Every structure is written in C-alpha cells, then in structure tokens.
C-alpha cells in the first residue's frame, strides 16, 4: 500500500480555517459567515410554497390561506416553482452548449480554434446523416456547427441525439410525451406554462420538467460535450494533482474558474507562451502556474492535466491564499463575493463574459474571434500583478493528492477492452464491464455528480459515500464538484484501490484505473447517459434494469435539478442528499419520488442522512441484481 493516505475532511477544514484567519486580518467576508446571517432560511421558500409570478402576490400558502389570490393551490405553486427551477438549469447548460457550437463555427486551420478530433466529428456527422466523403474537415465542422445550432430552435421534430438512446427508452419518452423538441422551445414552454393563469396541474408541470431536463441532457449539454471534444480533444487518462497545494508560492498563479473551455483552453495555451513565461521571470517569478476551480477545472484537467485547486466552496480559498494573481472566470457558479474579496488582496478578479458581469471585477470581454488577443491580455494582466503581492498575506496550505482523470466513454471502453481483449481496436464495447457486473466481481455502478452546499458538511457526503460504495465493490463515475472532492481526498489516486472490496480492487489492478473515474464537468453528464445507453444496448437490457443509480449528495444549483430530471427520465434512479424545494406539496413529492416511475421507470429518493443514503443506493443496486437473477 506504500504511503497512500486519504486527505480527510478534517484536514480540508483545518486548511480552510487557517485561510479564514488571513481573511479576518484583512476584513474579508466569507461564505461561512454569510451562512450564519442567512440561517434559519425562509420556510415558505424551503417548501416551495411562495408564488411571485404576478403582482397580485406574492402569495404564500399556509393552512389558513390554502389558495393564492388567483385560486392556485399549493400543488400548482410548488409544481410551477419546480418547473421554473428546471428551466433555469436547462437554459444555463444549453446556452453553454450553444456557445461551444458558435465557437465550432470559427474553427480554421490557422485560427484560434482547430479541429483536434476529426474522427469524432465525422462520427457525429454520419450519425446525423451528413455527407462526409471528400469533404474538407473544416467545412464539415462549419456545417455541423450550423446543424447543431438549429437543434436549439428548429420548428419541427425532436432532438437528434435522442436516437443514441436504446429503442425502449425512446419509446417510453414518446409514450409519456416528453421527447424534447427544440432546446429553446422546452425552456420557453416551461416559462409559458408557469405564467400566471396557465398550468397549475402538477402532473403537467412535472411532465414538462422532465422534458425540459431532457432537452438539456440529450440536447444542449450533449452538444456542449461532443463539440468540445471535437475542438479540444476527447479526454484520455492523464495524471494531475488536486487541492490548494497545487498553487505555487514562487510562481504567478492564475486560477481559471467557471465552465466554458473556449476561454480556459486559450488561457492555458498562453500560460505556456515563451513570451509570457519570460515576462513572468522578468517580474521575479519562476514561471506561470495555472490551476482550475469548478467545472472549468474539470475541463482542463481532463484534457491537459492542469491541476485542480478546488471545487465550488473552495473558490474563496484560492484568493485567501494571498498568492492568486488572477482569478479568471466565464460563466456559472461564480460567487459575486469574489469581487469584494479580491479587493482585500492584490488579486485581479477578471470577468470575461457578458453573461456573468459582476461588481468589483476587471471586465475583459472574451470572444471566439479575438480569443488569442483576449487570452494574452488576461495572462499579461496576471503576470504584471505578481509584484503587487503582499508577502505577509501569503499562505498556501500544503495539501494535495495525485489523481488520474480523463475517463470519457471512449477512454473507459478502450481501457476495459485492453484488459479482456489482446487485440485492442477502436471499436470496443462495454461488454467487459457488463461481464464484471454479471459475474458479481462488481456489484454495480453509481454516477455521482453535483455541487457542494453548506447545508451539508462540504465534501464529506461525496467522500464518505464514495468510500462506502467502493468498499462494496461498486464502481463510481464522477463529474462536476463531486469529481473534485474525490480528487482532493485522494480517491482518484490509483493506490486508492486499497480501499475497495476484493472485486473492484482486482478490476482496478487489471485495468490500471482508480476506483472512481473522472468523467468530466457537469455538461459531461451527457457522457454518463451515453455510457448507460451503451451498457443497455450491449447487455440487451433496459437502462432501468441495470444495477446503476445516480446520486447528487450535496447539490445546490438549478442546473443540478435539470440534470436530476434528465437522469431520472433516462431510467436511472436518482438519490439526493439535499431536499428539493417541493416539500410543501404532497402531490409533487409523490410524483417525483414515485409517480414518474410509471412514465420513465425511475424516480427520486431523498435522504439527508448520508449513511442511510448510501445504504439505500446499495439496496437499490442489489434489488436490480436480484430482479435479473445475477
Ligand atoms: O456545473 S457541480 S457547483 S461547478 S453546478 Fe457548479 Fe454544482 Fe460545481 Fe459545474 Ni455543476
Ligand atoms: Fe398569487 Fe396566483 Fe399571482 Fe401566484 S399567480 S402570485 S398565486 S395571484
């Protein structure tokens, strides 16, 4: 076992506390303090029973006031709020996907963006019935970009990628009338349905919530993932490191944070530019160190091995080290707190997107057409800021772990195929994984995703659940901030196989993989949908029959609800550690935890006791095995 040791949540917290001491010295605010000011939370909001969609209200439902002024009951109000929450998440993921499709339109052999994975582009083009023979790859990229953008607004038909799902799943969607049409249409329909005086029937609202989620997972997010791979490369296993200790005291530290790889890829390129490195040396640094936070970190770690400084609730910590020259952000999950916080240090808080503009930031607009110049200016701004560091405030916690990341579906298939087949080819299947599962060497799989949330001791739910699952021979695939929690703890170190049950340990040894596999950012949960579909097709089972469940133990965002809806709608039971804001309606709760099973063969389970949540997942996996007689 060597010297392998996980980093504990207590060690994470000790490091944070030390950083908060620096924060206190400079008068910095922190989420830990703001949580105290916001607790206890508003009960009406928590239960989802407050309606603000017209100015006769707001109306709040209580036993004494069972209806809003328009007569809407609690089930209608909760259902509408849930659908609006979903629409927010679906729009956000899908708009990220749209940006990627626009970037694809700018690719050229000598431009800022190129086609790095032509085979993948050709594969998708063939899937979409586009002629590829004799076509210049860049012409094909532009044609595909336009077709993909049409998926957002086409007047007729449903999403092209739905055809990737098993036949049975497609039939369920058709029967339930939840096949997503144009991506933007599902968001617009959601807003229309929830306008004053439209739908108040929970069943209709939840049906649209599923459809709107599906337009994200099998539409916008899938476009985001697939065309990011085309431009930046399909991830393959790569070694990296994780936790705040990846920041380097004697280097210029640039933190990339947010989601869209179009920005971060370009920043990473310019951090390797000899001119920029020379500039860094001229200001007294040894070089330029770039590290990531949140999903941007997942993107650049998976494709380039860029180290991961932290996840969602670590974003203030990178500034609190006093060694962050610039935190460069694009969209989503960025605390507005970074503005005032950066002012307590020398850090430049650089916003780049018209979508995410914040006070107290330096706005350097980033465009695909001028990406090179923009990135260079950002890197230069950071490097020149090195001299403004206040040495007395610098403290980088010396915590970091090794991690192997980059398990796209293609990489998983290839890695496992190597174990069972001597002749490795590019057209592997998921059959080796299925054999491991049917033979019982692996009991099943869990897709663990999502955020941190101060309602749960940060990272502890992710890490404790992963430890429990792998000890029970359940392989875990990860994305988003869950993936970073694992990496920071050390669970993506191949030596973590020592924590597995005998079966999973053997698989890890044979395949040379860590027991938890990093599949990417949150839009990359679309990869998990494809993996589940391939497993179903290769095994001849329905997705809902596979011993596979989804889990978001510390989720917080609207995007997470959209994800939950498309994962469940794909036939995968989903387990949550934080309650959605729907508890005010027994009808909505009933639909989400049970009723929707009639439509999509899966439903939600909510359990705040994390140990019990783990037991429930294992129990569900074993039930699915028993039903299959394996
Ligand atoms: O999209 S896991 S906190 S960073 S929402 Fe955000 Fe949640 Fe992290 Fe990525 Ni996903
Ligand atoms: Fe109140 Fe109805 Fe207006 Fe909502 S739509 S705020 S319940 S009157």
Q: 513-516 long-range contacts, Cβ below 8 Å, gap at least 24? A: 513/237, 513/404, 513/407, 513/415, 514/403, 514/404, 515/470, 515/475, 515/476, 515/491, 516/448, 516/466, 516/470, 516/475, 516/476, 516/477, 516/478, 516/486, 516/491, 516/492
Residue 199: pLDDT band (50, 70, 90) is very high
Ligand 1 center–CA 602 separation, angstroms: 24
Q: 242 forms bridges with which residues in the sheet?
A: 308, 401
What's phi and psi for 398, nearest 5 deg? -85, 60
Q: DSSP letters of 228-245?
A: HHHHH-----EEEEESGG
CATH 3.40.228.10 for domain 244-393, yes or no, is no
On the question of pLDDT at 149 being above 90, the answer is yes
Among all bound ligands, the one having the nearest atom to the CA of 68 is: 2
Q: Probe ligand 2: pick from 48, 49, 50, 51, max atoms within 8 Å of CB?
A: 51
Tokens describing residue 569: 């709608």
Residue 217 contacts residue 529 (beta carbons within 8 Å): yes
Can you say whether the dihedral through the CA atoms of 355, 110, 152, 82 is positive or negative? negative
d(CA 507, CA 500): 10
The mean pLDDT of 212-220, rounded to a whole number, is 98
Q: What secondary structure, in 3-state letters, does 464-507 show?
A: HHHHHHHHCCEEEEECHHHHHHHHHHCCCCHHHHHHCCHHHHHH
Q: Where in the chain is the domain with CATH 1.20.1270.30?
A: 68-232
What's phi and psi for 270, nearest 5 deg? -75, -20
Residue 418: pLDDT band (50, 70, 90) is confident
Among all bound ligands, the one having the nearest atom to the CA of 197 is: 2
User: What average pLDDT does the chain have?
Assistant: 97
Q: What is the pLDDT of residue 427?
A: 64
The mean pLDDT of 273-280, rounded to a whole number, is 98
Ligand 1 center–CA 312 separation, angstroms: 7
Distance of CA 396 to the CA centre of its chain: 26
Q: Closest ligand 1 atom to the C-alpha of 560?
A: 5
The mean pLDDT of 84-88, rounded to a whole number, is 98
d(CA 513, CA 470): 13
CA dihedral 212, 213, 217, 223 (to 10 degrees): 30
For the chain, the first-to-last Cα distance in angstroms comes to 32
d(CA 460, CA 246): 21
On the question of pLDDT at 77 being above 90, the answer is yes
Among all bound ligands, the one having the nearest atom to the CA of 298 is: 1
Residue 515 contacts residue 470 (beta carbons within 8 Å): yes
Count CB-CB contacts under 10 A for residue 262: 26
Let me know how many helices (H) and strands (E) the chain has, helices first: 26, 16
Is the CB of residue 59 below 6 angstroms from any atom belonging to ligand 2?
yes
> If you take atom 5 of ligand 2, which residue's CA is the nearest one?
196
Q: 328 forms bridges with which residues in the sheet?
A: 256, 350
On the question of pLDDT at 347 being above 90, the answer is yes
Is the CB of residue 69 below 6 angstroms from any atom belonging to ligand 2?
yes
> If you take atom 1 of ligand 1, which residue's CA is the nearest one?
522
Q: Probe ligand 1: pick from 86, 92, 312, max atoms within 8 Å of CB?
A: 312
d(CA 376, CA 385): 14
Tokens describing residue 136: 């210049």
Ligand 2 center–CA 74 separation, angstroms: 11
On the question of pLDDT at 422 being above 70, the answer is no
Residues with CB under 6 A from ligand 1: 259, 294-295, 311-312, 333, 450-451, 480-481, 521-522, 557, 559-560
Asked if residue 528 has a cis previous peptide bond (ω within 30° of 0), the answer is no
pTM beyond cutoff 0.85:
yes
> If you take atom 3 of ligand 2, which residue's CA is the nearest one?
54
pLDDT, one tens digit per residue, over 310-324 is 999 999 999 999 999
Comparing CA positions, the residue from 431, 476, 418 lying closest to residue 621 is 476
Is the CB of residue 198 below 6 angstroms from any atom belonging to ligand 2?
no
3-state secondary structure of 29: coil
pLDDT, one tens digit per residue, over 31-69 is 999 999 999 999 999 999 999 999 999 999 999 999 999
Comparing CA positions, the residue from 309, 76, 94 lying closest to residue 180 is 94
Q: Closest ligand 1 atom to the C-alpha of 450?
A: 2
What is the pairing mode between strands 444-448 and 548-552?
A: parallel
Out of 3.40.50.150, 3.40.50.2030, 1.10.150.530, 3.40.50.1980, select the CATH number for domain 402-628: 3.40.50.2030
Is the CB of residue 104 below 6 angstroms from any atom belonging to ligand 2?
no
Residue 416: pLDDT band (50, 70, 90) is confident
Among all bound ligands, the one having the nearest atom to the CA of 66 is: 2
pLDDT, one tens digit per residue, over 542-564 is 999 999 999 999 999 999 999 99
Question: Given the structure tokens 């011993």, which residue do they identify?
Answer: 547
Tokens describing residue 498: 């020592």
Comparing CA positions, the residue from 230, 564, 261 lying closest to residue 410 is 230
On the question of pLDDT at 216 being above 70, the answer is yes
Among all bound ligands, the one having the nearest atom to the CA of 194 is: 2
Among all bound ligands, the one having the nearest atom to the CA of 84 is: 2
Q: What is the pLDDT of residue 2?
A: 67
Q: Where in the chain is the domain with CATH 3.40.50.2030?
A: 244-393, 402-628
Tokens describing residue 91: 């729009």
Q: Probe ligand 1: pick from 451, 458, 478, 527, max atoms within 8 Å of CB?
A: 451
How big, in percent rounded to 5, are the helix, strand and coil portions of the chain? 55, 10, 35
Q: 606 forms bridges with which residues in the sheet?
A: 576
Q: Probe ligand 2: pick from 50, 77, 195, max atoms within 8 Å of CB?
A: 77
Residue 620 contacts residue 113 (beta carbons within 8 Å): no
Q: What is the pLDDT of residue 72?
A: 98
Residue 426: pLDDT band (50, 70, 90) is low
On the question of pLDDT at 424 being above 80, the answer is no
Ligand 2 center–CA 197 separation, angstroms: 9
d(CA 330, CA 325): 17
Q: Closest ligand 2 atom to the C-alpha of 68?
A: 7
Q: What is the pLDDT of residue 420?
A: 67
Q: What is the pLDDT of residue 3?
A: 79
Q: Probe ligand 1: pick from 93, 450, 555, max atoms within 8 Å of CB?
A: 450
Question: Given the structure tokens 């908060």, which residue do they identify?
Answer: 20
Among all bound ligands, the one having the nearest atom to the CA of 54 is: 2
CA dihedral 128, 132, 135, 136 (to 10 degrees): 70
Q: Probe ligand 1: pick from 85, 96, 255, 295, max atoms within 8 Å of CB?
A: 295
Ligand 1 center–CA 526 separation, angstroms: 14
Q: Closest ligand 1 atom to the C-alpha of 449?
A: 2
Q: At what angle do helices 261-271 and 74-105 cross, to 10 degrees?
A: 40
Residue 373: pLDDT band (50, 70, 90) is very high
Is the CB of residue 78 below 6 angstroms from any atom belonging to ligand 2?
no
| CATH architecture for segment(s) 68-232 | Up-down Bundle (1.20)
The mean pLDDT of 387-391, rounded to a whole number, is 97
Ligand 1 center–CA 260 separation, angstroms: 12
State the number of CA atoms in the 13 A half-sphere of 411 facing the CB.
23
The mean pLDDT of 585-597, rounded to a whole number, is 98
d(CA 433, CA 466): 19
pLDDT, one tens digit per residue, over 240-265 is 999 999 999 999 999 999 999 999 99
């Amino acid at each position: 076992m060597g010297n392998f040791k996980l980093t504990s949540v207590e060690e994470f917290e000790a490091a944070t506390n030390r950083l908060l001491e620096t924060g206190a010295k400079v008068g910095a605010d922190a989420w830990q303090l703001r949580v105290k000011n916001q607790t206890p939370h508003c009960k009406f909001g928590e239960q989802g029973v407050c309606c603000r969609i017209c100015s006769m209200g707001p109306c709040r439902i209580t036993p004494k006031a069972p209806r809003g002024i328009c007569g809407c009951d609690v089930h209608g109000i909760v259902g509408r709020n849930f659908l609006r929450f979903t629409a927010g998440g679906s729009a956000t993921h899908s708009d990220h996907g749209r940006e990627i499709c626009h970037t694809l339109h700018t690719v050229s052999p000598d431009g800022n963006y190129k086609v790095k994975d032509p085979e993948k582009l050709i594969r998708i083009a063939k899937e979409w019935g586009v002629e590829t023979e004799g076509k210049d790859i860049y012409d094909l990229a532009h044609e595909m970009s336009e077709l993909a953008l049409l998926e957002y607004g086409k007047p007729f038909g449903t999403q092209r990628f739905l055809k990737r799902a098993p036949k049975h799943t497609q039939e369920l969607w058709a029967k339930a009338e939840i096949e997503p049409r144009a991506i933007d249409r599902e968001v617009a329909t959601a807003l229309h349905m929830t306008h004053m005086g439209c739908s108040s029937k929970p069943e209709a609202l939840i049906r649209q919530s599923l459809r709107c989620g599906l337009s994200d997972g099998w539409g916008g997010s899938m476009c985001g993932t697939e065309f990011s791979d085309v431009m930046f490369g399909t991830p393959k296993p790569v070694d990296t490191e994780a936790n705040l200790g990846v920041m380097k005291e004697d280097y210029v530290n640039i933190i990339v944070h947010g989601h869209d790889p179009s920005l971060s890829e370009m920043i990473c390129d310019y951090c390797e530019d000899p001119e920029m490195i020379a500039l860094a040396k001229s200001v007294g640094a040894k070089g330029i160190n770039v590290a990531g936070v949140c999903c941007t970190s997942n993107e650049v770690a998976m494709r380039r091995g860029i180290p991961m400084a932290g996840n969602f609730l670590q974003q203030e910590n990178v500034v609190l080290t006093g060694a962050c020259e610039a935190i460069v952000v694009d969209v989503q999950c960025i605390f507005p707190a970074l503005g005032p916080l950066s002012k307590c240090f020398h850090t430049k808080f650089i916003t780049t997107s018209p979508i995410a503009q914040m006070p107290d930031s330096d706005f350097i607009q980033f465009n695909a057409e001028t990406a090179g110049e923009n990135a260079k200016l950002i890197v230069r701004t950071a490097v020149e800021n090195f001299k403004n560091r206040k040495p007395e405030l610098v403290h980088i916690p010396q915590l970091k772990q090794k991690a192997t990341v980059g398990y796209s579906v293609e990489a998983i298939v290839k890695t496992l195929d190597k174990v069972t087949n001597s002749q490795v080819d590019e057209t592997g299947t998921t059959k080796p994984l299925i054999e491991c599962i049917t033979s019982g060497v692996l009991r099943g799989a869990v897709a663990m995703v999502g955020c941190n949330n101060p309602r749960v001791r940060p990272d502890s739910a992710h890490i404790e659940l992963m430890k429990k699952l792998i000890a029970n021979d359940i392989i875990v695939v990860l994305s988003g901030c869950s993936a970073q929690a694992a990496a920071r703890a050390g669970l993506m170190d191949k030596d973590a196989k020592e924590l597995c049950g005998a079966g999973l340990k053997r698989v890890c040894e044979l395949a040379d993989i860590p027991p938890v596999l990093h599949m990417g950012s949150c839009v990359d949960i679309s990869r998990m949908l494809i993996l589940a579909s391939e497993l179903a097709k290769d095994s001849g089972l329905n997705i809902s029959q596979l011993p596979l469940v989804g889990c978001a133990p510390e989720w917080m965002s609207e995007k997470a609800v959209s994800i939950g809806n498309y994962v469940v709608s794909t036939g995968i039971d989903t387990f949550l550690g934080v309650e959605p804001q729907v508890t005010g309606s027994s009808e909505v709760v009933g639909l989400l935890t049970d009723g929707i099973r009639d439509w999509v063969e899966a439903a939600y389970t909510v359990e705040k006791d994390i140990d019990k949540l783990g037991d429930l997942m294992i129990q569900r996996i074993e039930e699915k095995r028993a039903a299959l007689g394996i």
